[in-house]
Amino acid sequence: MNHTRLSSRELNHDVSGAKKAALDGPVVITDRGRPSHVLMTYETYERLTGKRRSILDALSAPGLSDIDFDTPRATISPRDVDLS
């Protein structure tokens, strides 16, 4: 993962370049030489913040059809009820 570092002034002059750089990794924006902000793709943001995906999104993820998932059938036995 690449880390790009841009000053606030460089960001203002080339926003589209910064957005393209964010596709390869986080872009650290500096203010007076000190890191102040980070530009990243929204997908990366969601992954980092732990946003939950819907079950439909999870099941339609690429590569899931290659996973062999075979679980044993559960057996549930009734219990006697004590009403005393």
**pLDDT for res 74:** 87
Q: Which of 4, 31, 32, 30 is nearest to 18 (CA)?
A: 4
Topology given in CATH for the domain delimited by 4-51: YefM-like fold (3.40.1620)
pLDDT tens-digit series, residues 33-83: 999 999 999 888 888 887 766 777 777 767 766 777 778 888 888 888 888
Whether this model's pTM surpasses 0.75: no
**pLDDT for res 47:** 82
Domains of the chain, residue spans: 4-51
Task: Give the contacts of 25 (CB within 8 A, at least 6 positions apart).
Answer: 1, 2, 3, 4, 40
